[in-house]
Amino acid sequence: MANFGALTDHFTLAASVGTLVESSKTPVANSRADALDENGDIADAAWYGNTAAELYEASCTYQVDTTDVNVATALKLGELATGVVVTSIEISTSNGDWPKITVSGILGTGALEQGKTYALPSNWDTLALIRAGGPYPYRQDDGVFGNREGLLPRQPSGYYREYTVVTPGSDDRGPRRIIFGADGDRYWTADHYASFRQIKESR
């Protein structure tokens, strides 16, 4: 699906919609997660998101040159083919011109699954999973964290929720967790609540 200056019909809709007049394809941006030490300095960092260049944001604009476009079948949100997902459809008109339809979406190297994270380092993929609202790997995830150790700032009951960070090679939940506060504060523990580092994200 490379685009080397020529137009590329990423969604293969030209045959049913009209003439392709514009297209674009750019890699999905990465983000960085920083773990801070007790002094607020960055102790560890990891990139997550599209780190293996598996995901692309794509857009195609088609000029409608037919009076018979079946929007219900030709244009629909969701996965059109393996790794090709339409996220938005915009129709524009102007005097004297045929209508134009702009389709935007995500391209992937394989099937894109809702709630799945892509090419994320194991220490940080949980952050993306939380944003997606799951599904989580363990039933205990998204449960209330009581802060019984008293190592996090004191907050009302139910303020903190905990999520498992998968430990490679472990046959159970392992010791790694991310704790989310209701106000957006986030903490990382690699030793099952014995110590915490605050997570700071940057783009």
Active-site positions read 162, 192
Residues 6+ apart with CB under 8 A from 85: 78, 79, 105, 106, 107, 108, 112
Measured CA to CA in angstroms, residue 18 lies from 12, 21, 93 at distances of 11, 9, 14
In the chain, where does DSSP find H-type helix? 14-17, 71-74, 125-131
Q: Please report the DSSP string for 130-189 in residue order.
A: HHTT---SSTTTTEEE--TT--SPP--TT-EEEEEPP-TT-SS--S-EEEEETTS-EEEE
Question: CA-based angle 176:181:182, to the nearest 5?
Answer: 145
